[in-house]
Amino acid sequence: MNPHVPSPRPTGPAPRTAPVSARPPAVLSLRGVSQSFGAVRALVDVDLDVHAREVVAVVGDNGAGKSTLVGVMSGVTVPDSGEVMLEGVPVQLGSPAVARQLGIATVFQDLALCADLDVVENLFLGHEVRRGPVLDEIAMEREAWRLLAQLAARVPSVRVPVATLSGGQRQAVAIARALLGEPRVVILDEPTAALGVTQTAEVLNLVERLRDRGHGVVLVSHNMADVQAVADRVVVLRRGRLNGDFDADTARYEDIIAAITGASPALSGGSRAAQPRHPRGETS
């Protein structure tokens, strides 16, 4: 029962999915999470599980509660009620720093990069590696290349200002920075929103890399094409409530859209219980 900081870390590549019966407990779980802002019920009794080696897409219309959910999972927002659990152990996130220490890293939509600083400086801002009194630039450069290589991300140099990089490259730098503490869960808020076709493909590749390295990934997105390209599960929020939990391989696009818009009768009403996988399960 000790409130612990669970320790297993993601390791190298492994098969993408395990049989359902052999599945370990979720790395990150929300139970009965509610959050209001004045009269606005941004989240109502939301349950969510994120497993290792899984990309969970969170979709929903404007104002559905996605960013509020990200806030709760990343420690920005302490919910009015409900629990956050890591490997089944309730935790108090309290702040993004605490969430990071516990293994939840978030890449916010604005990326929070300093345009004038180079890639290495951005990666290690506030966590500089020192050798005695001086910065160990070589160690930081080496680590920067290692992290970017893990993501198969290409940047011309780690010594160019971030301002000179493309949107996709900046996203890669922000994700690389998230990986510094070897998090178990990486949350990405609208990572492709500002990107063109090629850069979007690069970022979706990064998301797959994260999964293949064993992280649980939460992908908040407006873009159904992105979601269907990389997600294993698609969770729908509607007016703050969970309104669907689909297996991305078998769900039909129109059923997900129906859950987003409220046209789906099956799961509306925000049942607290985990929603069943979408029944349209005939595998090919």
Ligand X SMILES: Nc1ncnc2c1ncn2[C@@H]1O[C@H](COP(=O)(O)OP(=O)(O)OP(=O)(O)O)[C@@H](O)[C@H]1O
Binding site for ligand X (CB under 6 A): 37, 40, 42, 60, 62-68
Minimum distance between the CB of residue 193 and Mg ion, rounded to whole angstroms? 10
Q: Do the strands 54-59 and 216-220 form a parallel or antiparallel pair, or are they unpaired?
A: parallel
Tokens 């629990």, located at residue: 83
From the list Mg ion, ligand X, none, partner contacted by residue 241 (C-beta under 5 to 8 A by kind): none
DSSP codes, 23-70:
PPPPSEEEEEEEEEETTEEEEEEEEEEE-TTEEEEEE-STTSSHHHHH
From the list Mg ion, ligand X, none, partner contacted by residue 68 (C-beta under 5 to 8 A by kind): ligand X
Query: Of the listed pieces 58-66, 82-90, 129-137, 227-235, which binds Mg ion according to CB under 5 A?
Result: 58-66
Dihedral of CA 76/61/261/279: which sign? negative
CB closer to ligand X, 76 vs 139: 76
List, in order, residues 6 or more apart from 135 with CB less than 8 Å away: 128, 129
CB closer to ligand X, 68 vs 171: 68
Minimum distance between the CB of residue 267 and ligand X, rounded to whole angstroms? 17
CB closer to ligand X, 18 vs 40: 40
CB closer to ligand X, 71 vs 168: 71
Q: What is the DSSP letter of 188?
A: E
Tokens of 166: 């493309």
Measured from the Cβ of residue 240, the count of other Cβ atoms closer than 10 Å reads 24
- List the 104-107 sheet strands across, edge first: 104-107, 185-189, 216-220, 54-59, 233-238, 241-247
Minimum distance between the CB of residue 221 and ligand X, rounded to whole angstroms? 10
Q: Is the separation of the CB atoms in 122 and 170 below 8 Å?
A: no
67 binds Mg ion (CB under 5 A): yes
Minimum distance between the CB of residue 228 and Mg ion, rounded to whole angstroms? 20
**192, 53, 173, 45: which is closest to 114 by C-alpha?**
173
Backbone φ and ψ for 171, nearest 5 degrees, come out as: -60, -40
69 Cα distance to chain centroid: 11
15: left (phi over 0), alpha (psi -120 to 50) or beta: beta
From the list ligand X, Mg ion, none, partner contacted by residue 65 (C-beta under 5 to 8 A by kind): ligand X
CB closer to ligand X, 143 vs 189: 189
From the list Mg ion, ligand X, none, partner contacted by residue 7 (C-beta under 5 to 8 A by kind): none
Minimum distance between the CB of residue 63 and Mg ion, rounded to whole angstroms? 8
CB closer to Mg ion, 155 vs 220: 220
CB closer to ligand X, 37 vs 253: 37
Radius of gyration of the chain (CA): 19
From the list Mg ion, ligand X, none, partner contacted by residue 62 (C-beta under 5 to 8 A by kind): ligand X
Query: Of the listed pieces 66-74, 207-215, 234-242, 255-263, which binds Mg ion according to CB under 5 A?
Result: 66-74
Minimum distance between the CB of residue 42 and ligand X, rounded to whole angstroms? 3
Minimum distance between the CB of residue 57 and Mg ion, rounded to whole angstroms? 14
Interface contacts to Mg ion, rule CB under 5 A = 66-67
